[in-house]
Structure 1
Amino acid sequence: MRTELLRPGAVPSDVAAFNSAMAERFAGLPSLWEIGVEAARNGGFMPTSPPAPDAFDIVITKDVSLHVVPHPAPKAVLLHIHGGGFMLGGAGFQDAMLARMGANAQMTCVSVEYRLAPEHPYPAAWDDCEAAALWLVDNAFDRLGASKFVIAGESAGALLAVATLLRMRERGLLGRFRGAALSFGVYDSTMSPSQAQAHSGVLKARDIEKIVESYAPEAAQRRAPDLSPLYADLHGLPRALFTVGTLDAMLDDSMFMYCRWLAAGGEAEIALYPGADHGFIETPHPSARAANDRIDRFLAQCVEGL
């Protein structure tokens, strides 16, 4: 980890200009809570991409479906878990990203349509992602043409990805997973210091508190490994890439998890992007291309030789 990337002077001029333009553009816009969760879900609150022409869905339980962006000759299957604060987003909203990752790492990409809070708080999404992983273990080779997996998630999806790996380890199935690309994840539902001190930017402490109340209403549960994998036993997990911007409220989460991954004997790397805020890889941010290229290279390395 290059510590100079955390210094104020590390922010490139094009990034500073982009941040200034975005701050001006979005100043005064209503918050999620002012819009309302249902209206936000229906009104494009999160960026979406057009559907991939060859994408299709598979229903695996009454609660869970999988959105598949196929590769004609996959070496592996990417289990993708979308972000959105456990309340927004959907499996079919990121086809351009999934198609790019699939093409660059020779993978079929499968995104989980999991139940959302606040209607379905913990453990609904966790159980749905576990169900998706178990279905892939049993069916991926016959249905999708590959039997080894990597996993990826952004924000809430990164937390769910780690929790899914922990559940797979408990079932003795972790050996099927060869890598984890984890972007700006929340790994401490009791709020890490950077979360608690976030007073500007995309995610602010007051909003994070409300989000946590939505997906984890029982405060006594919030430090359990499922909800705060920062406190989990992380031994035996696959190699991981942590991607995060230095302005992100989840900066500490990624830095702490990177260190704990290493301390547990795992292989990990962290990619820090000066001046980048939460969710930047899905925006026109000047650092997005470099970050996405590194994620794709990491995933390609994980599936080499499979």
Structure 2
Amino acid sequence: MITDPRHDYAAGETFWLDKDLALARRLNRILSLLPRYRTDRRWNASLLQRMIEIGQRCVPDIAVLRGQARIRTIKTEAGPINIRITAPPQQEAAGLYIHFHGGAWVIGNARFEGGLAREIALECQVVVAVIDFENARDDRLDKTILQCVRATEWLVDHLGDFGVDRVVIGGESSGAHLGCEALLHLRTAGKIGKVAGFYSMCGGFDLQGSPSLHKASRDSLVIDAPAAVANLRRLTRSLSNSLSHGPLHADLRGLPPSLFIAGSLDPIVDDSLEMNARWVQQNGNSRCILVPEAPHGFNRFPTSLAAKANAFARRWIGDVIRTAD
């Protein structure tokens, strides 16, 4: 079902107000004046990633130095993978949340998600594992998916190391696609029983491009829609037929409860709407929240609407872990 969460989770609680939407509209007017990000250009992805890494090298990783986060490296046939682990301080964890960062499959890293990981760990009282997969700037999305699958499987096999027995898998944008592929692999491997839920924020699940993406123009906020279609064409060349269409076209039976949050102004909004519809059809245990005045990646913007959407998601993660059978 599609949920309007104006009065959800707690009686009398308001999710968004007119003033939240007004603030979002003001930000959108600013975004409309800025250049759109072309996800199909590898030189700009390399430049942005280089800037991120230089900035991180210039600033000590305080969370790691203070023992608030640690890095675990595992070996796989797709190469070594770092997993950034953040635990709730002085609290017994209720479960594990495995997170996959966004970035159109070509930019971003686990350290960049440090703030988000701390918020989830504190509020949900869970251990947060952020997968530091290799970005596919060489268009080898098959290798990226394999790394994510192997890292997720390793974490599920070692839940006892974290003192938990339940896990939620999730991600943002392209990260939601990677997390869903990992989830589908766990089902195939007979290891889905420990997974309590799946969470997606602005996720992309149709690698052929959803109807909303193909209809969108270069004027869509934040990302250039035609360039996003071109990016998908580049990345899917490395994939087998079973993966090249994306999770939207996969068998979704036997999957745990899911939450999809999407922005109404996002060119890939149909990915979340259609994924939710198929999840409900095959499992009956999914919900989708469509947020008005919200472009792609809105949850990272400095608006009250974003803060409320993120808080809603964190509460869902905590609840689904604690209420799992």
Contact 2:142 2:238 survives alignment (8 Å): no
Match of 1:130 among 125, 146, 149: 149
Counterparts of 2:26 and 2:202 in 1: how far apart (Å)?
22
The separation in 2 between residues aligned to 1:34 and 1:129, in whole angstroms, is 21
Q: Percent identity?
A: 25
Residue number in structure 2 paired with 1:64? 81
Give 1:93's aligned residue.
112
Equivalent position amino acid for 1:196 in 2: H
CA root-mean-square deviation? 2.8
Give how far 1:64 is off: 1.0
- Aligned equivalents of 1:113, 1:34: Cα separation in 2: 19
Q: Paired residue for 1:16, among 10, 19, 25? A: 25
- In structure 2, relative to structure 1, the CA distance for the partners of 1:170 and 1:219 (3 Å cut) is closer
Partner of 1:206: 226
What residue ranges of structure 2 are gaps of 5+ in the alignment? Answer: 7-17
Residue 15 of structure 2 is matched in structure 1 by none
Q: Please give the alpha-carbon distance, in whole angstroms, between the structure 2 residues aligned to 1:81 and 1:30.
A: 20
Contact 1:114 1:128 in 2 (8 A): yes
Alpha-carbon separation, structure 2, partners of 1:236 and 1:259: 15
CA displacement at 1:28 relative to structure 2: 4.3
Deviations along 1:58-113, one digit per CA (max 9) or x if unpaired, are 00014311011112421101111111111001111111111111111110000111
Residues 189/39 of structure 1: CA separation in 2 closer, same or farther (3 Å cut): same
Offset, 1:285 = 2.9
1:188 corresponding residue in structure 2? 206
Per-residue deviation, residues 131-167 of structure 1 (Å, max 9, x unmatched): 112211222312x221321111001110111111110
Amino acid aligned to 2:48: A
| Aligned amino acid, residue 247 of structure 1 | L
Per-residue displacement from partner, 1:190-229 (whole Å, max 9, x unpaired)? Answer: 11111112212122222112321342225873xx346511
Single out whichever of 53-62 and 86-95 deviates more from structure 2: 53-62
Distance (Å, rounded) in 2 between the aligned partners of 1:29 and 1:12 = 22
CA–CA distance in structure 1, aligned partners of residues 274 and 71 of structure 2: 36
Structure 1: any 5+ residue segments left out of the alignment? none
What aligned pairs does 1:120-159 form with structure 2 within 5 A after superposition? 121-142=140-161, 144-159=162-177
Q: SS state of the match for residue 287, structure 1?
A: helix
Name the SS for the 1:243 alignment partner: strand
Report what 2:10 is aligned to.
none
In the TM superposition, 1:1-306 aligns within 5 A as 1=2, 12-24=21-33, 27-28=34-35, 31=38, 33=41, 36-44=44-52, 52=63, 53=66, 54-61=68-75, 62-71=79-88, 72=90, 73-119=92-138, 121-142=140-161, 144-199=162-217, 200-218=220-238, 221=241, 224-225=242-243, 227-305=245-323
Counterpart residue identity of residue 17, structure 1: R
Q: Is the 8 A contact 1:230 1:256 kept in 2?
A: yes
Deviation at 1:11, TM superposition (A): 9.0
For the residues of structure 2 that align with 1:234 and 1:209, how far apart are their CA atoms?
A: 24
Distance 2:106 2:62 in 1: 21
Quote how far apart the aligned CAs of 1:120 are: 5.4
Contact 1:201 1:247 in 2 (8 A): yes
Tell me how far apart the structure 2 counterparts of residues 292 and 189 of structure 1 sit (CA, whole Å): 25
Q: CA deviation at 1:35?
A: 5.3
CA distance in structure 2 between the aligned counterparts of 1:28 and 1:282, rounded to whole angstroms? 18
Shift of residue 10 of structure 1?
12
C-alpha displacement of 1:36: 2.5
Q: Please, what TM-score do these two structures have when normalized by structure 1?
A: 0.88
Between 198-207 and 60-69, report the one with greater CA deviation. 198-207
Number of equivalenced pairs: 297
